[in-house]
């Protein structure tokens, strides 16, 4: 392909490793940087490079198929392999793009919310969190997954706690997240330990091959699956394991809340998909039962319970946090159907939710930046005082509801089609009912912004005071993406279908013996 000639050979040959290694290495330099603006510029450059690399990897996978990369030249299963295919390549690009947009947004936001002496370490911790998420998505080694999971989690606890400069409740929220996250990681690593005990390998493809030989009757393997599902369920905020999420979203610095809401649960959901469908065998009875009853059941419960909780919250960030738990429920419902169409719907909603929720939290951070607004009751007149910011919030909000012409509608429509194909008419009723609940909790915020009078100070209405350009640009990139991909649906839908095909194919047992060799690319192809 001619477009592949735009990427240097080192990105195409070593991009799978560099997208993880570069943020880790630059985090050290960023932490020691005495200038906060230079630290920000470093992060901006790193995230831009990650976007470029992730795009190259995605196009490479689309053109030539899965990428196998052996760290240090040691071939799996003895060495650590990185593996990129149609399931994780779109997620790498999503995480990188969100990180870049949030870094643009960070320049004014971090100055307002983080103490000067902590800004360098703050940006360094963000790069470590980013590297952890990208590593989780890229690696094909089960223990390496745990390592990157902890790298991302520990830095996340620190970043949430740094919100204490604005609200002291960030400290208790970070501690709660630390305890719950540690429990989830412990469950996950115990499950990996059980799998290693039975298979003697940590490479996920080799593990899948050996599990096929062991068969579905092994009790230790069954126990391993249970531990892994519970551990990852806690990390992705699956109802009722979501109690860490509202506090973390509400009190972390605004810049990091937007990044966390758009990426962290998506990476954990990817791991759940990878293990359930390509390491274990979803055709085994106990896994098929767990997928249908546990994942779909908890998804439905989360959709209803979290939507109801969102209605009764007054803190805007907590409204959106409980909404995230409900949206995870939509994803789990699609996965629980275990059909190609259901998996397509769940995966597509995962991508779409990142677009919508990133825009919403960026707008909420801008509300606080200009007027100190955190409560729904204080949103009066924002449509007049911050018209562009509120318009971006509104577009993302109606997308969350599922209004036609937005990305939220596209994934919900496919989810309804998948439920109808499965004969799950009751699930269609729940999807419609929870969308109506979304109209209530999103609608009341929009109603206050556009239909309530502008508040007055000293008998004078508050003047128009729009968010800075550094906040408006990422907000409107995501808001417009909600509209563009809601109308031109082919690109995102095709990626979701490709991911569903990977999952539907079952366990991936191909253990490569050598490094991936890139076909010669010239400008004439």
Judge whether residue 514 has pLDDT over 60. Answer: no
Greater pLDDT, 68 or 457: 68
Q: Domains of the chain: which residue ranges?
A: 297-504
Confidence of residue 201 (pLDDT cuts 50, 70, 90): confident
Task: Tell me 318's DSSP state.
Answer: H
Kindly provide the residue ranges of all beta strands, DSSP E only, lying in 186-343, ordered along the sequence.
none
pTM listed for this prediction? 0.90
Backbone angles phi, psi at 139, to 5 degrees: -70, 150
Mean pLDDT of 89-115: 89
Q: What is the largest CA-CA distance in the chain?
A: 78
Higher-scoring residue by pLDDT: 460, 522: 460
Asked whether the beta carbons of 406 and 486 are under 8 A apart, the reply is yes
User: pLDDT tier at 189 (50, 70, 90 boundaries)?
Assistant: very high
Other Cβ atoms within 10 Å of 505 Cβ, number: 10
- 401 within 8 A of 409, measured Cβ to Cβ: no
pLDDT, one tens digit per residue, over 237-283 is 888 888 887 888 888 888 888 898 889 889 999 999 999 888 888 88
Judged against a pLDDT cut of 60, whether residue 525 lies above it is answered with no
User: Are 127 and 46 within 8 A, CB to CB?
Assistant: yes
Decide if pLDDT at 200 tops 90.
no
> pLDDT exceeding 70 applies to what percent of the chain?
94
Confidence of residue 375 (pLDDT cuts 50, 70, 90): confident
DSSP reduced 3-state for 81: strand
- Lowest mean pLDDT of 320-334, 383-397, 488-502, 508-522, name the range: 508-522
CA pair distance 101, 426, nearest whole angstrom: 39
Question: Torsion angle, CA of 287/293/298/300, rounded to 10 degrees?
Answer: 130
Q: What is the pLDDT of residue 381?
A: 83
Task: Kindly indicate the confidence band of residue 413, based on its pLDDT and cuts at 50, 70 and 90.
Answer: very high
Q: Is the model's pLDDT at 516 over the cut of 70?
A: no
When comparing pLDDT for 240 and 49, which is higher?
49
In this prediction, residue 511 carries a pLDDT of 57
**What's the pLDDT at 522?**
36
């Amino acid at each position: 392909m001619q477009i592949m000639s735009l990427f240097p050979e080192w990105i195409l040959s070593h991009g799978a490793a560099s997208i993880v290694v570069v943020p880790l290495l630059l985090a050290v330099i960023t932490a020691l940087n005495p200038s906060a603006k230079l630290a920000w510029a470093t992060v901006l450059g790193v995230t831009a490079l990650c976007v470029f690399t992730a795009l190259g990897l995605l196009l490479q996978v689309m053109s030539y198929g899965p990428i196998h990369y052996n760290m240090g030249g040691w071939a799996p299963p003895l060495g650590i392999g990185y593996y990129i295919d149609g399931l994780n390549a779109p997620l790498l690009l999503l995480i990188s793009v969100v990180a870049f947009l949030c870094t643009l947004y960070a320049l004014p936001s971090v100055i307002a919310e983080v103490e000067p002496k902590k800004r360098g370490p703050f940006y360094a911790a963000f790069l470590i969190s980013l590297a952890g998420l990208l590593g989780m998505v890229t690696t094909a080694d089960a223990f390496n997954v745990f390592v990157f999971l902890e790298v991302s989690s520990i830095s996340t606890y620190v970043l949430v706690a740094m919100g204490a400069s604005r609200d002291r409740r960030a400290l208790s929220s970070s501690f709660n997240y630390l305890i719950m996250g540690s429990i989830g990681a412990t469950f996950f690593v115990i499950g990996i330990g059980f799998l290693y005990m039975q298979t003697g390998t940590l490479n996920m493809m080799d593990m899948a091959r050996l599990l096929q030989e062991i068969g579905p009757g092994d009790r230790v393997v069954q126990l391993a699956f249970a531990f892994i599902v519970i551990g990852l369920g806690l990390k992705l905020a699956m109802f009722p394991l979501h109690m860490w999420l509202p506090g973390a979203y509400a009190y972390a610095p605004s810049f990091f809340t937007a990044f966390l809401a758009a990426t962290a649960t998506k990476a954990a959901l990817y791991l759940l998909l990878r293990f359930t469908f390509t390491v274990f065998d979803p055709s085994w009875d106990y896994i098929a039962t767990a997928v249908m009853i546990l994942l779909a059941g908890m998804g439905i419960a989360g959709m209803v319970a979290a939507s109801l909780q969102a209605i009764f919250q007054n803190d805007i960030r907590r409204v959106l946090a409980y909404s995230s738990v409900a949206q995870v429920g939509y994803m789990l419902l699609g996965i629980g159907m275990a059909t190609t169409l259901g998996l397509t719907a769940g995966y597509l909603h995962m991508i779409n939710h990142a677009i919508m929720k990133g825009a919403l939290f960026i707008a909420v951070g801008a509300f606080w930046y200009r007027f100190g607004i955190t409560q729904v009751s204080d949103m009066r007149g924002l449509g007049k005082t911050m018209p562009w910011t509120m318009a971006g919030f509104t577009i993302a909000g109606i997308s969350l509801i599922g209004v036609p012409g937005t990305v939220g509608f596209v994934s919900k429509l496919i989810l309804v089609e998948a439920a109808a194909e499965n004969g799950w008419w009751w699930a269609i009723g729940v999807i419609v009912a929870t969308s109506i609940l979304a109209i209530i909790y999103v609608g009341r915020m929009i109603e206050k912004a556009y239909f309530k009078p502008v508040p007055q100070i000293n008998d004078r209405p508050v003047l128009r005071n729009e968010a800075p350009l550094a906040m408006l640009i990422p907000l409107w990139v995501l808001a417009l993406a909600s509209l563009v991909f809601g109308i031109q649906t082919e690109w995102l839908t095709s990626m979701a279908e490709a991911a569903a095909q990977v999952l539907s194919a079952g366990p991936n047992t191909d253990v490569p013996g050598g490094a991936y060799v890139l076909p010669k690319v010239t400008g004439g192809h």
